[in-house]
Amino acid sequence: MTEFDQPPNSFRHWNIELEGAIATFHLQVDSNAPAFGKYELKLNSYDIGVDIELANAIRYIRFSNPEIKCVVITSALDGTFCAGANIRMLAAADHSHKINFCKFTNETRLEMEEASQHSGIRFLAAINGACSGGGYELALACDHILLIDDRQTAVSLPEVPLLGVLPGTGGLTRLIDKRHVRRDRADVFATKAEGVLGEEALEWGLVDELAKPSNFADAVSARAHSLVADTNRIEGTPVDLSPLNVEVSDQQISYRWVDLKLFDRYAELKISVDQSSAWRLQTARELDDALCRLRFDFPQIGTLILQTEGRVEDVLVHDAQLHSPADHEQHETALLWKRCLSRLDLTSKTLVAAIEPGSCFTGILFELALAADRTYMLDGCFEDEEQPLPPAVIRLTATNFGAMPMANDLTRLASRLWGNEGTLAQAAELKNSDLIAAQALAAGLVTITPDDLDWADELRLFVEERCSFSPDALTAMETNHRFCGPETMATKIFGRLSAWQNWIFTRPNASGPDGALQRYGTGSRPDFDNYRT
């Protein structure tokens, strides 16, 4: 079982140094500590284990170190910054792991950029040695790239010429959309396996600054302090991110407020709510952990049924603080919910919300229903219960109108009602009102409202139907439907790049016995089928 919640004192691959307002992440990959298999992590190449540590390091800085305003990412190895994703790992991994690995690393890079934009933490890539593939993509996610000018250190994206795949962590998109590198130069760069050195890299916009080896450390320090001076971060009391308390069995993964029941082809994820002030942060962490485990450890599960349980009044208290955070902890917790919900949007599972008596799909938790591909809401009560609960209600709050945008910068409500401005305006008029099934259906907020007699059969038939379809076709269909409207850099990376990478990884030119991933480092060139399709 993959462990995603890892405190810095357990890291094998990153050394964290804190000094004043600056944190330095030194990458020193333990070559003998792969996440799975028997490959060797040479030249600071990384696998999912290395990136899980990086994701945790960023999150700990955001919550537990509010004094930090700049993170320097560099290498502890002489002559090597990062060689990118480990090729032996990619060659040995099954297709599902390849894709989820790329997706997770993309989400981590996007979290860096969001931390810069919304938390006031600037990121500085201090490239002090060879920087290729995913290593350069890591640098591209930073606010500033400083390259050592020693006449031998290059930056490169060698995936196309050497591996027969695409840069998997947004490199192609960030070159043009973020750094505005000319597309003809981007074409040259992405097909030049040896990469680009100092002055040319600076001229082309591949890096922002050069420094000679003799004054590299001083240049890094000066740039880091200038980035600190150029940002405003909400300071406050450090937040202790205690280890998640999780119980794992073959049928269930249970946390304090999140419960995941596992079946053969589907799972039920329930979020419970109470009045505890710890609920907001802890539930976001638990939900995030559960979604990551679902992706990596349960690829056979194709459908996720989303449920909630608790009092609407309790959700409203938490929801108000998430919509209008008043301090450091509340601010970062709201951003974590935003990132967690985005991870839900990007999860390749059919999402279906089941709203029934006892549910509390309100405000922040109604975002789960808006993220779903379909939403079922029971019309009435379960009549066969001795003391039937009142009919389920949903409630829109201010949170649903802008506080938790998707990767396409739209609210989930706007995405659901895309192009129906009148219906969206009517939804705004219903804000803060309890809506029963018939009202929610009329407002376009739910899909189907079965009664007590049909409820169980409707959900069962839906799950059975979903299991009968091609999972590949479903993933493509659902992603198309979830991200309507304008494109952003994030939707291009996940919708366009990930779709192509998914296809490329199944092609024999990349993953076949004579493909580039299998023959890399053997001295034999790959045998490509040169027909284009």
Q: What are the b/e assignments for 239-257, b being 16+ CB within 10 Å?
A: bebeebebeeeeeebbbbb
pLDDT, residue 432, reads: 97
Is there a shared CATH topology between the 8-229 domain and the 247-482 domain?
yes
pLDDT, residue 113, reads: 97
Q: For residue range 175-207, list pLDDT tens digits in order.
A: 999 999 999 999 999 999 999 999 999 999 999
Task: Fill in the amino acid letter for 105.
Answer: T
pLDDT, residue 506, reads: 86
Q: Above 90 in pLDDT, residue 504?
A: no
For the chain, which residues make up each domain, given as ranges?
A: 8-229, 247-482
pLDDT, residue 394, reads: 98
Neighbours of 394 (CB within 10 A): 28
User: In the chain, what percentage of residues exceed pLDDT 70?
Assistant: 100
Closest among 329, 225, 238, 346 to 284, alpha carbons compared: 329
Domain 247-482: which CATH number of 2.40.160.20, 3.40.50.150, 3.90.226.10, 1.10.3720.10? 3.90.226.10
pLDDT, residue 481, reads: 93
Q: Above 90 in pLDDT, residue 334?
A: yes
pLDDT, residue 387, reads: 84
Q: For residue range 450-483, list pLDDT tens digits in order.
A: 999 999 999 999 999 999 999 989 988 998 899 9
> How far is it, in rounded angstroms, from Cα 70 to Cα 61?
10
Q: How confident is the model at residue 533 (pLDDT cuts 50, 70, 90)?
A: confident
β-strand pairing of 209-211 with 196-197 = unpaired
Average pLDDT of 261-288? Answer: 97
Q: How confident is the model at residue 493 (pLDDT cuts 50, 70, 90)?
A: confident
Q: Above 90 in pLDDT, residue 314?
A: yes
pTM for this entry: 0.95
Q: Above 80 in pLDDT, residue 89?
A: yes
Closest among 110, 124, 25 to 70, alpha carbons compared: 124
HEC per residue, 97-161: HHHHHHHHHHHHHHHHHHHHHHCCCEEEEEECEEEECHHHHHHHCCCEEEEECCCCCEEECCHHH
Query: CB-hemisphere CA count at 13 Å for 65?
Result: 22
pLDDT, residue 530, reads: 87
> How far is it, in rounded angstroms, from Cα 363 to Cα 346?
20
Average pLDDT of 271-294? Answer: 97
H helices, E strands: number in the chain? 21, 17
Least confident of 135-144, 277-286, 315-324, 510-519: 510-519
Q: How confident is the model at residue 7 (pLDDT cuts 50, 70, 90)?
A: very high
pLDDT, residue 494, reads: 87
Burial class (CB in 10 A: 0-12, 13-18, 19+), 108: buried
Contact by Cβ (8 Å): 413, 406: no
Q: Above 90 in pLDDT, residue 109?
A: yes
Q: For residue range 401-412, list pLDDT tens digits in order.
A: 999 999 999 999
Average pLDDT of 357-376? Answer: 98
User: In the chain, what percentage of residues exceed pLDDT 90?
Assistant: 86
Q: What is the mean pLDDT of the chain?
A: 95
Q: Which CATH superfamily hosts domain 8-229?
A: 2-enoyl-CoA Hydratase; Chain A, domain 1 (3.90.226.10)
Q: How confident is the model at residue 500 (pLDDT cuts 50, 70, 90)?
A: confident
Q: CA separation (Å) from 58 to 24, 25, 34, 95?
A: 11, 10, 21, 28
User: Torsion angle, CA of 60/62/68/74, rounded to 10 degrees?
Assistant: 60
pLDDT, residue 386, reads: 80
